[in-house]
Amino acid sequence: MKIMIVDDEELIRNHLAHLTEWSDLGCQITGVAANGVEALERIPADKPDLVITDIRMPLMNGIQLAEQIKARFPHIRFLFLTAFNDFQYAQHAVKLGAADFILKPIQNAELLRSVELIMQGEERTSREDRLKQEQVIQSMLSHVVNERDKYAVASENGLEDREIIVVCVVIDNADVLIETGEVYSFVALREAMTQILDYNPYSYWDYSDSKGLYLILFKPHGDLWEMRGDSMKMAGDMLDRCKESFPFAVSICISKVKPSILYLHQAWKEIKDCLDYRMLLGKGSIISNDALPNRVQGNMNGADQLNELIVMLRKGEKEKVPSYLLSISREMMGKGLTKTNIHTFALQVIQRVEMLLLEYNLRIPEEIQLQTRKTILSFDILFDLMLFLEQWLEESADRIIATNRNQSMNGLVKEICTYLRSKSAEDMSLERLADYFHMNHSYLSRLIKKETGQNFRDLLWSYRIEAAKRMLLETRMKANEIAYEVGFKDPAHFSILFKKHVGLSPMNYREQIK
């Protein structure tokens, strides 16, 4: 428990702040202040759970401080240090919900025991409140509980007329993170988000499921526009905190303001709509249901789009794949397609290309086919899905191109290419290759160009780049070390060629593929 000490007497402040028993209780003194004004200024930075404050102080007394704390930081408890002649103040403090009173002169053991009891009560209340909250939420979302019973549950908890807004924090591509073995923690996420909410003037409930962390914010007599604006500001703070604290990206969805928790099922539906729209907006988005466009259910012109892709792959036009997918993405965003529509089209692409590969006797094992489909369905973000499709389609195009090339290449050229690939790390020249095969080097140059579509130098470089790609994934060697290992004498030249061939620098390629 984090504790702040507030007293205008420096001797008392220092004495209480330096009690050695605090650490034994699991407590930490995060700040001290000489009066209520100073305490209020320090609370956002010191983030105490409990404020131990004197009642009589200059500028702002302990009662005024407690009133401000209750209004601005309702989760913070306060314990008063009081004298016998402060009885009238103490009555007011009871109404404010003081955790306890300690009479001056202060006895260390009495103070420590009081704090220990407060901590035990907080833990017990926290468990009981969480259980009650989950029961109320489940009742509001249930299709079995009738409206009259829902109203009774809300009234019993004083929630029938308290406006709410729901904020949902979701980890982007969580299923993909699971597949790749990356670690994330809903517990750590909840802790970070609730720390932000604890220092806003809203009471809240939090609720987690497999989709994300749901935060139900309550504001009595709140103005609708103020509540909406405040939730957007809090969402921005949450997004900033996540960027600072976690290696994964999150998006934040916000429902419309609702008259009470009786409308929780509507807010949940609005959050679902926001989650669906996140597919188009991308990672790290804040999506407010108030700002969602009216989306007309649309579909892709599947047959035309797929036929265009198949023709492209048959011709071996691998370089057109990125622009094709970019065009598809723009059309999807323009039509405002749902996540389901997007996944359906992506699966159709996979199926048609697999059928095309079969025409070339290129069969994909069934377990890999299933895994590919599972991966497609795990994407929550359109951009990431398109990156995956781009890599998959380019690999498929490479297989088709290789098959076409192999069918037309005669045995001699196959042998030449095999030999060149095996010797690509050496100081290989066209003359040396021609001498090895007892050929005229000019003729060999023309033959290589005709059968492979590349001149000798480009073919040699492509083999070296292929070898470098494998080494980037299979070893921890640095890029310049790999450059020398695969046959380049100038690491800078290697990096330029690698980016030209692959589209990424060597290190970016390693990071992205891994």
What is the per-residue pLDDT across 419-454, written as a single tens digit (0 to 9) for each? 999 999 999 999 999 999 888 889 899 988 988 889
Check residue 223 and give its pLDDT: 56
> Average pLDDT of 196-222?
76
Instruction: Enter the CATH code of domain 409-513.
Output: 1.10.10.60
pLDDT score at 211: 67
Higher pLDDT, 141 or 356: 356
Q: What is the 3-state secondary structure (H, E, C) of 357-401?
A: HHHCCCCCCHHHHHHHHHHHHHCCCHHHHHHHHHHHHHHHHHHHH
Q: Which is higher by pLDDT, 219 or 182?
A: 219
- β-pairing, 28-33 vs 2-6, is parallel
Q: Exposure string (b/e) for 1-17, b if CB count within 10 Å is 16 or more?
A: bebbbbbbeeebbeebb
The more confidently predicted of residues 461 and 225 is 461
- The pLDDT confidence band at residue 298, using thresholds 50, 70 and 90, is low
Q: Where are the domains of the chain?
A: 2-124, 142-291, 302-406, 409-513
Whether the pLDDT of residue 295 is over 80: the answer is no
pTM for the predicted model, two decimal places? 0.56
pLDDT of 289 > 60? The answer is yes
Q: Which among 72, 118, 64 has a CA at the least distance from the CA of 96?
A: 64
Mean pLDDT of 365-383: 92
pLDDT at 487 over 90: yes
Task: Give 53's strand partners.
Answer: 6, 80
pLDDT above 90 (res 222): no
User: Could you tell me the two tokens for 343?
Assistant: 């996944």
Which residue's entry shows tokens 């498929």?
A: 396
CATH of 142-291, one of 1.50.10.20, 3.30.70.270, 3.40.50.300, 3.40.50.12280: 3.30.70.270
Mean pLDDT of 366-384: 92
What is the gyration radius of the CA atoms in the chain, in angstroms? 33
Return the structure tokens found at 237.
């703070």
C-beta atoms surrounding 107 within 10 Å:
11
Q: What is the tens place of the pLDDT at every residue in 110-137?
A: 888 888 888 876 655 555 666 677 778 8
| CATH number of the 2-124 domain | 3.40.50.2300
* CB atoms near residue 221 (< 10 Å): 7
Predicted confidence band of residue 265 (pLDDT cuts 50, 70, 90): very high
Least confident of 255-269, 283-297, 485-499: 283-297
Shortest CA distance to 346 belongs to which of 310, 300, 398?
Answer: 300
When pLDDT is averaged across residues 349-371 and rounded to a whole number, the result is 93
